[in-house]
Structure 1
Amino acid sequence: MNGGTAISWHSQKQTLVATSSNHVEVTALNEASIECTWLRSMTQLVLTSCGLEKDICPTLIYKDNSACVTEMKEGYIKSDMTKHIPPKFFEYTQELIKNHQVEIKYVQSISNVVGLFTKSLPTAIVRKHVHGIGMQHVHRI
């Protein structure tokens, strides 16, 4: 999101065969980090070309899996939970965290607006998330 409006999103079945739900979460976070880097570079280019200051704050990525957030913040540690996940899925995101380009924050599933795209939710939650990503109802004249 940028300026309170969703500017990029992606939902698809993963092409990688994951061996655990943790593997899926780490892979998704790696993909989000790659997209974040591209969007961040485009935003910085626009700001610079308009004569504005670059945004030096890290980009926030919200994740609703606390184990995945902890693994990313603490670094790749080979354990029973991660031994089947190639280290390459950890390295890129951790490099972005180390360079203060990205910050990973935990958010409860019910409060995670991307659940709108990935989960079957009650109507009240859908309306809340639709508003949360900046969508508005257009009235035709």
Structure 2
Amino acid sequence: MNGGTAISWRSQKQTLVATSSNHAKVIALNEANKDRSPTLIYEDNATCVAQMKEGYIKSDRTKHIPPKFFEYTQERIKNQQIELKYVQSSNNAADLFTKALPTKIFRKHVHGIGMRYLHNT
């Protein structure tokens, strides 16, 4: 818990190779929503959000993603066990933990999750 908010974090060696950023997001979303219910999940990939809300449609862009990664998440959305919301990448506080950020964005996210940024001069 951080500031009254549950945080789930896991790191492990990949068991399969994602062939696109959307594929990686779909796989991560599938794993993330197994933890608890009800859960609000913010996703910064608009295509992934649309596919989850509209349903799996086999196309050239999704043919490499097994339907099982869509079905579980879509069922949980339908049953209101999770809520999936789009968040612009520039407003995605999770980026603090996954990538190097410009100082201004880093400070914004640190503040946004209730942490303090101590600057030593």
Q: Normalized against structure 2, the TM-score is what?
A: 0.83
5+ long unaligned stretches in structure 1: 41-57
- Distance change >3 Å, CA 121–CA 102, structure 1 → 2: same
Q: Does 1:25 align with 2:25?
A: yes
Superposed, 1:41-56 pairs within 5 Å as: none
**What does residue 54 of structure 2 align with?**
74
How far did residue 136 of structure 1 move? 3.8
**What does residue 59 of structure 1 align with?**
39
Q: CA RMSD in A?
A: 2.3
Identity of aligned residues (%): 75
**What does residue 15 of structure 2 align with?**
15
Larger relative contact order (CA 8 Å, sep ≥ 6): 1
Counterpart CA distance in 2 for 1:104 and 1:23 is 17
Counterpart CA distance in 2 for 1:72 and 1:122 is 31
Q: Does 1:106 align with 2:86?
A: yes
Alignment match of 2:68 (pick from 88, 93, 103): 88
Contact kept? 1:30, 1:93, Cα under 8 Å = yes
- Distance change >3 Å, CA 110–CA 12, structure 1 → 2: farther
5+ long unaligned stretches in structure 2: none
Give the structure with the larger helix fraction.
1
Secondary structure of the residue aligned to 2:109 is helix
Contact kept? 1:60, 1:105, Cα under 8 Å = yes
- Distance change >3 Å, CA 103–CA 77, structure 1 → 2: same
Q: Normalized against structure 1, the TM-score is what?
A: 0.73
